[in-house]
Chain A
């Protein structure tokens, strides 16, 4: 059926898109996981029976863009033994799950119509805990993946509608049932042939559009590199991800072979997880008008090479707990760096890193144990060509699809009182377009003594890059203040937490795009007025002379200063004694803007 009228085509297309949005809304409204319901750490989507991606409008790239691999394994494992009403649970990165790490539980449901398997749906969300030695699954120093938590290879938890394994995840199963009903309704209304033909036509149209976008890029090989502070087992040794992006005609190949070998620590990525992030990082360079469409057609022109035994394609039983943040984030950043060279007018700078922790202790108000994590203490987004980075805690590994929590809600729920939560002036990468503001997050422990695992953080040592002459992301710091003591907490460590401790996280905003010397004067002045930068930074970094008292710009002095490039570049550095943000001479070699 090649003659689908345009109306039927778009009707069916939007039905799948809105189905996914509704699935996400059912999940967030019913889930008991803080990560899923408040922070939206979840992904849903629809695939064809052969694993082709149909609809993936909202989620975390690593949670769902590699689902084709899981579907292919499940079909191999179960062969003809898949039936209407079956639901398969898996969280096993190495055996059929193809997810990043164990806390991301996925429910995959085959969808049948008149006895024929036509689709799969996925509902995957981040569980607060998944067994293992430490809550949250970010266990540095685990010997192997078995020590990281419960490993669930694809397992039928519901067989033909009958619950076989009872787990308290009804919200996820209800969501997947909801999706099945809606897809079957659609098939009933339009007929199988029309629905499938429409989908194939959309995949082909999308593929043509994405190929045309790639073909418009200059052929060549572009490189990117990004690194993690360490792997959590071998401490203070930087781990590198390197990518060579080759554009040839309308195809794009991302080769991670020059990345470091697999590591003993928990930052390794399985192939599907690398693939998902690498593909997402390419997709964001396509025409933003295509943003609502991406599907299998967008993935077809993208090839990802990662040799087995590499940190981007690790071998069983490697530990993987921290890979969504460490190495996962770097995969995105390295591809973004390379793509920004190929497409300067869509340059994207690195974002602030995730500065997560899992804190667990007892809440004296209830006597119950709790695990607390959030995205609130992350830095802000990096700049893109044409726009400053957005202000608000976020991390590039999610493409900004997660949300922060509420202070009031968190204080009702956890025995921690917020002391401070606001941006700090100057604390971001600067540029013609600058990163969003860096964040100062402080909370006091009013509960029992406990532990804090900083497994889900990075960015104390290695800095994310700017683009086109924009500055890199400043370094981040976390401290525990205990009386007069100031204890530094590095990423990937375990720290004792006592009642009365104040945790301080200073998380930088993202990197800049373009030379700060080229930022329009009025934008610099607005930033000064809004106390996003100080007058000395306006002068030192942006070449704009603003009177520190009247806050008026001295146009003659500015023109003179800007008539030649700056003799010295400066970047924001945290003073570990005072916790002030200071400007220090920078040794960064800024890229020349194209």
Chain B
């Protein structure tokens, strides 16, 4: 039977089919923002057609679909979510609106002219009720149920279709939140109700409340979509399992994730690093920079020793999301990024993007110069074979757009295009450096895995700038997230906060927390038909030195601590701490704060088929040549172009060269050579 992954992005819906033989087939359809299930089934339809089957015949032979979607992120960014009401502890009504400071961490201190933060829940829909739990978990004031009913009624009468219940210290004792949720659900069974401790049972109220509100905000739409997809698949005869890709790099059945909708943020981009990790593994590389350059954004993930990193410090737009997410920092750099001149007279590119509409000038609608236009002017992109010829590009229009920008700097179009190209490469290279060095790594020790439709053009130049020796451009580069979803495990994460110093640890208490988390995991997995014997557990703890305010996550040697393994754990903490921050303080006592348990059930291993070796000369794959301009030489150079489909393992090329495909183009810059590996990926190396 076949396995499918489907990634609904902003512009395209990508579908990958893994045949039983291990062969991958790639399909792309346009995303349909108003009802993404249309694009979903259009992409599946293309696959069915490829096999000469009807949609129903094709789906009957599918055992599993892993699905990533930007729906949640889009709803949040375009602010088209539910009308959310928030019920909170009386006297603490403005926690979310106040955030932690008047700017989130990205604004400049010298910029005072900023619109104040608009929370997703306006103040009139935030209602306080009498209740109070202490940090110890002791209930100081039980929930005032009649007041709760009164406030909930008010919110429901206002038309709220989602309600977030956010009480202080609910991570330590969720009874009041639970009871409030029950009551609201009884009052209005169709309302989407979420309690903060269910989403993120971790201390720090602003972060937890903000996350719960976001979950409620996207929850109803996510639920509708997931249910519609579920029934659509069923109606079309699909008996396979539908799994949703989550922000934390795990996948989960629909029933388990509709109540925790916030986990569907960043659902696509979180998958790409898993694909990169898999491909790197084929070449024995486990230090990888997984990058994905699409139309508007450039994502980076640093995979060190095969470990996919995660973070709980994320922001989506102006909103704080504190769940653990795969750490994929992003900048506004992509094919659509626009060029402009700043007030210092410097040429800048991005973060503004031409988007899908009007798109780059070359598409025939927009006037402004984008990276795609510059790449076209430089000869890198084939005007006649963009997306396999589906999109015709207007070279003259690009030329004019780029020349307009250049005239302000007294540069001609090709000079300007070159500066735009190197500028956007620098923006991306800087993000890579910043992300990498923040973790204390040297970029030169890494292999770049280049995904995204625009990644192939820019990857080698970025690698050159950063002295990264090797670039892998996967055959599936333009569908990198969809590919990554084949490598996902089914899983869930649990957490319990319990602050104690190392000399005040109560081993029985910790074991109790883990027993509780295990029990919850058993129930959750049993409900989707997965037995306990198939589960793998990974416990960890967030800890810090006494007196500090930020935690480091350390693996637990076991779920039961004792004097001996505690010693080993502490030693590991000191070592990890030094690795992260260049020093440690072993003489100082450590404080344990949040215990975590990651529970996974392994997916079927994937095999990508090994192709037979090259019997032919690489020139048999030649499809022509283009005049290209490169850095350091103003004169255009005749650059050979090859057809990726016709290239075979073992084929070698020396830059400059271009490799075209119906989903992307790869540029081998001068000074680099290229080799086709056994899996039909391209390896680019500095000479």
Contacts and interface: CB of A to CB of B under 8 A. Distances in A.
Interface of A: 6-7, 9-11, 14-15, 18, 21-22, 25-26, 28-32, 34, 37-38, 40, 57-59, 170-171, 173-174, 177-178, 182, 202, 205-206, 208-209, 280, 283-284, 286-294, 346, 348, 380-381, 384-394, 399-404, 406-409, 411-412, 417-423, 436-437, 442, 529-532
A6 B423 contact: yes
A29 B581 contact: yes
A403 B101 contact: yes
A393 B343 contact: no
Contact of B102 (A31, A174, A392): A392
Contacts of B98: 391-393, 404, 423
Contact of B113 (A6, A384, A421): A384
B548 A399 contact: no
Interface stretch (B69-77, B199-207, B258-266, B375-383): B199-207
Contacts of B582: 174, 177-178
Contacts of A419: 91
Interface string B407-447: 00000000000010011001001100110011000000000
A400 B101 contact: yes
Interface stretch (B114-122, B233-241, B486-494, B597-605): B114-122
B601 to A, nearest CB: 33
A32 B550 contact: no
Interface in B105-150: 108-117, 122-124, 128, 134-135
B507 interface: no
B284 interface: no
B116 A387 contact: yes
A173 B123 CA distance: 44
Given A59-B109, A292-B108, A407 B122 contact: no
Contacts of B122: 529-530
Interface stretch (B344-352, B525-533, B555-563): B344-352
A14 B91 CA distance: 44
Contact of A436 (B116, B135, B171, B204): B116
B93 A409 contact: no
B660 interface: no
Contact of A412 (B135, B347, B437, B585): B135
Contacts, number: 209
A409 B549 contact: yes
A289 B203 contact: no
B97 interface: yes
Contacts of A346: 113
A205 B346 CA distance: 9
A208 B583 CA distance: 42
Contacts of A390: 102-103, 114, 116-117
A7 B347 CA distance: 9
A399 B437 CA distance: 28
B100 interface: yes
Given A205-B345, A291-B110, A442-B91, 14 more contacts: A10-B426, A11-B426, A30-B548, A37-B550, A58-B109, A290-B110, A290-B343, A387-B114, A387-B116, A403-B101, A408-B135, A408-B204, A411-B135, A417-B134
B547 interface: yes
B499 interface: yes
B204 A11 contact: no
Contacts of A418: 91-92, 168
Contacts of B548: 30-32, 37
A190 to B, nearest CB: 12
Max chain A Cβ within 10 angstroms of own Cβ: one of B92, B111, B345, B347: B111
Contacts of B344: 202, 205-206, 208-209, 290, 293
Max chain A Cβ within 10 angstroms of own Cβ: one of B111, B123, B344: B344
A57 B108 contact: yes
Contacts of A393: 98
A450 B203 CA distance: 28
Given A10-B346, A37-B548, A404 B109 contact: no
B112 A284 contact: yes
A181 B205 CA distance: 37
Closest 10 CB pairs of A and B: A32-B547, A392-B98, A291-B108, A37-B549, A291-B111, A420-B91, A530-B123, A390-B102, A403-B101, A291-B110
A80 to B, nearest CB: 29
A466 to B, nearest CB: 15
A563 to B, nearest CB: 30
Interface string B596-623: 0000000000000000000000000000
A32 B93 CA distance: 30
A531 B122 CA distance: 10
Max chain A Cβ within 10 angstroms of own Cβ: one of B101, B115, B434: B101
A389 B115 CA distance: 8
5 contacts: A10-B426, A57-B108, A411-B134, A422-B95, A436-B102
Nearest to B421: A7
Contacts of A437: 94
A587 B358 CA distance: 55
Nearest to B577: A30
A389 B545 CA distance: 37
B100 A22 contact: no
A167 to B, nearest CB: 13
A422 B135 CA distance: 20
A7 to B, nearest CB: 5
A359 B102 CA distance: 25
Interface in B148-191: 168-169, 171
Contacts of A288: 110-113
B331 to A, nearest CB: 11
A20 B116 CA distance: 26
A417 B135 CA distance: 10
A32 B545 contact: yes
Given A26-B581, A170-B585, A406-B205, A531 B124 contact: yes
Contacts of B522: none
A304 B347 CA distance: 34
Nearest to B434: A18
Contacts of B343: 209, 287, 289-290
A417 B438 CA distance: 36
A461 B318 CA distance: 36
Contacts of B123: 530-532
Max chain A Cβ within 10 angstroms of own Cβ: one of B108, B205, B547: B108
Contact of B422 (A7, A37, A284, A406): A7
Contacts of A286: 110
Max chain B Cβ within 10 angstroms of own Cβ: one of A18, A171, A390: A390
Contacts of A34: 549
A392 B99 contact: yes
A209 to B, nearest CB: 5
B109 A401 contact: yes
B581 A174 contact: yes
Contacts of B94: 391, 421-423, 437
Contacts of A14: 426, 430
B134 A284 contact: no
B97 A392 contact: yes
Contacts of B117: 390-392
B584 to A, nearest CB: 9
A348 B422 contact: no
Given A170-B585, A209-B343, A290-B343, A394 B101 contact: yes
Given A7-B422, A28-B550, A348 B112 contact: yes
A402 B101 contact: yes
A362 B207 CA distance: 29
Contacts of B204: 406, 408-409
Interface in B561-580: 580
A15 B206 CA distance: 32
A30 B550 contact: yes
Nearest to A213: B343
B430 A18 contact: yes
A202 to B, nearest CB: 8
Interface in B67-92: 91-92
A25 B94 CA distance: 27
